[in-house]
Structure 1
Amino acid sequence: MKTVLITRPPGQAAQLAELIRVALPAAHVLQIPLLTILPNEDPREAERLREQLKKTDLAVIVSPNAVECGMRMLAGSWPKEVPIAIVGMGSQRALLHHGIDQASGYQIIAPQGQEDSEGLWAALQALKWPMQDQQVLFLKGVGGRVWLGEQFVMHGAHVYPINAYQRVTLSSEASLWDKLATLEPSQTCCLMTSSEAARHWAQVLQKKPWGAPWFEHVQMIASHPRIMAAIEDLGFRKVSLAGSGDEAILAATSAWYKNDSLS
């Protein structure tokens, strides 16, 4: 039986898992959350967020995690006078969950097609969004979206990052790893949507006595060219690019399931 590994954090894999189960009912779908999202619970940071919003010209919210954890920190309504820039449809759905959408009077800027940092930057450039001396709030995870923040700084904006969450890696002693030891790598594909998760994946496999064949035989499917490059640098031999979004990942997974290899 072929196995599909979904490596997203807990709470973020359910929709993709259901899509795959419907499309590939004979496949074994296993969730192995390589990262867990921990919201920032520091009340001082929450107060800094509320104060910064009073003087923010544009808020960049980099992910659905940043939406959920940022709204939790805010503990109130998002001010309609502060435009929001997002990277993809996942963030748009997360905002809608909090009643934040264009129809409700909020200004939301999103990429047209390419759902990543480059796509958002292109959308802002197409709008001729002013950058010089703008106060730009970045709601993100610890260490995230460095390139995007650099673009704002290079164009004269003042960037104020607030870490809404941090990522914690899955312990190498977690029982989930034992399930992988029973799988055949050549009959497994691993869906990877984070470079950080990919690095942790490789580090743990290197320590496991059964891990070496995975680098040679598992089919790795990446959601972004940067993630694909990171996976290849880590030594995995069979790597393919799906593109961002669940539908693109589903299409690549289905292609692997039917054709055995995408490499």
Structure 2
Amino acid sequence: MKTKSTVAADRPRKHFPDGNNDRDIPAKYGWQNMTGNLPLSGMKIAVTRPRDQAVKLAHMIEQVGGTVLLFPLLEITAARNPQALKEQISRLKEFDLVIFVSPNAVHYGIAAIHKEGKLPAKLKIAAIGQGSAKALHERGISNVIVPTQRFDSEGLLSMPELQNVAGRRVMIFRGDSGRELLGDTLRMRGAEVEYAACYQRSKPDQDGELLLAAAPDAISVSSSEALENLWELLDNKRQQILRDTLLFVPHSRIAELAVRQGWQHVQLTDSGDDGLMTALKTEAERKGSI
């Protein structure tokens, strides 16, 4: 059975306790004009994050007039081998540094750790990006090593704390696959590295025709894997149709893949919800909507 794509307006509402109240969202992003018109009125945006992670963003877009099509291109679930993860967590006290590569790694990794006890006090904690650092902070974990500019493996590897790691033991919480650059580089610097697969990614059984039929004005894609999954849903003719759609991506690596695929209008955004919302504002201004 194909996964049902959902127009966000059809979903039950959720309350978000982080300050993004309905009436605050247009003001936060400077989207107020003399007529009171909502700047994204008439604009349809496909959000391709895993469904549970897309709800808040969909709500934010709706509050400034956009219509959201939820079209998840990845599913995130718990670890494929929970016993192996449990065994690794039992040895955390032997490690010097733990790295979380994504908010998903924080969500599933910290939950698994708390099942067995708590993080050893001496452990240093690092995160690849601001989203992961925020997720750690929300769980009461502060003093996180996190890049200040480039939010990826390269950015974290440039931090002073990760230069002299010879003889250190490092555990990296991630999904069941991913880039090897972080671990490989730390090993080259003399660290002993172990990956802890705390969640798994899979491809939903989506129908690309549903996306084409919805005819979105823009598509938001947040990972290279999701973009590859989207392309696999479509034959060459349908790929050509979609190439003219405005594509928002949060990282240059995803943008480079999109260019190789032939997308004609690729917009690189800052990371997170704020990055996409700011890019949407810029696009609305470019079109003279504000």
Q: Name the residue aligned to 1:95.
A: 136
User: What are the residue-to-residue correspondences of 1:156-195 with 2, within 5 Å?
Assistant: 156-173=190-207, 177-184=208-215, 188-195=217-224
Aligned CA distance change for structure 1 residues 259 and 183 (closer, same or farther; 3 Å): farther
Helix, strand or coil at the partner of 1:180? helix
Q: Name the residue aligned to 1:61.
A: 100
Provide structure 1 residue ranges, at least 5 long, that are not aligned to the other structure.
103-107
In 2, Cα distance between the equivalents of 1:3 and 1:164?
34
Q: Which amino acid is the alignment partner of residue 48 of structure 1?
A: E
Q: Name the residue aligned to 1:140.
A: 174
Q: Which amino acid is the alignment partner of residue 205 of structure 2?
A: S
The one-character-per-residue Cα deviations of 1:48-102 (angstroms, maximum 9, x if unpaired) are: 2223312111001111100111123221322221111101222123223322224
Helix, strand or coil at the partner of 1:166? strand
2:112 equivalent to 1:112 = no
2:245 equivalent to 1:214 = no
In 2, Cα distance between the equivalents of 1:253 and 1:206?
29
In 2, Cα distance between the equivalents of 1:96 and 1:203?
37
In 2, Cα distance between the equivalents of 1:60 and 1:82?
10
Helix, strand or coil at the partner of 1:13? helix
In 2, Cα distance between the equivalents of 1:67 and 1:122?
21
Helix, strand or coil at the partner of 2:69? strand
User: What are the residue-to-residue correspondences of 1:1-263 with 2, within 5 Å?
Assistant: 1-22=42-63, 24-25=64-65, 27-40=66-79, 42-74=81-113, 75=115, 76-102=117-143, 108-123=144-159, 125=160, 127=161, 129-173=163-207, 177-184=208-215, 188-206=217-235, 210-215=238-243, 217-259=244-286
In 2, Cα distance between the equivalents of 1:86 and 1:8?
20
Aligned CA distance change for structure 1 residues 193 and 43 (closer, same or farther; 3 Å): closer
The one-character-per-residue Cα deviations of 1:164-201 (angstroms, maximum 9, x if unpaired) are: 1111112134xxx454232335xx11111100000011
In 2, Cα distance between the equivalents of 1:182 and 1:41?
35
Q: Which amino acid is the alignment partner of residue 36 of structure 1?
A: E
Contact 2:74 2:203 in 1 (8 A): yes
Q: Which amino acid is the alignment partner of residue 104 of structure 2?
A: N
Q: Which amino acid is the alignment partner of residue 101 of structure 1?
A: S
TM-score (norm 2): 0.77
Q: Which amino acid is the alignment partner of residue 113 of structure 1?
A: Q
Runs of 4+ in 1 over 4 A off after TM superposition: none
Shift of 1:14: 2.3
Q: Which amino acid is the alignment partner of residue 110 of structure 1?
A: V
In 1, Cα distance between the equivalents of 2:88 and 2:59?
35
Alignment size in residue pairs: 245
RMSD over equivalenced CA pairs, Å: 2.2
Shift of 1:36: 0.7
Provide structure 2 residue ranges, at least 5 long, that are not aligned to the other structure.
1-41
In 1, Cα distance between the equivalents of 2:206 and 2:273?
27
Contact 2:269 2:276 in 1 (8 A): yes
Q: Is 190-199 or 89-98 further displaced after alignment? A: 89-98
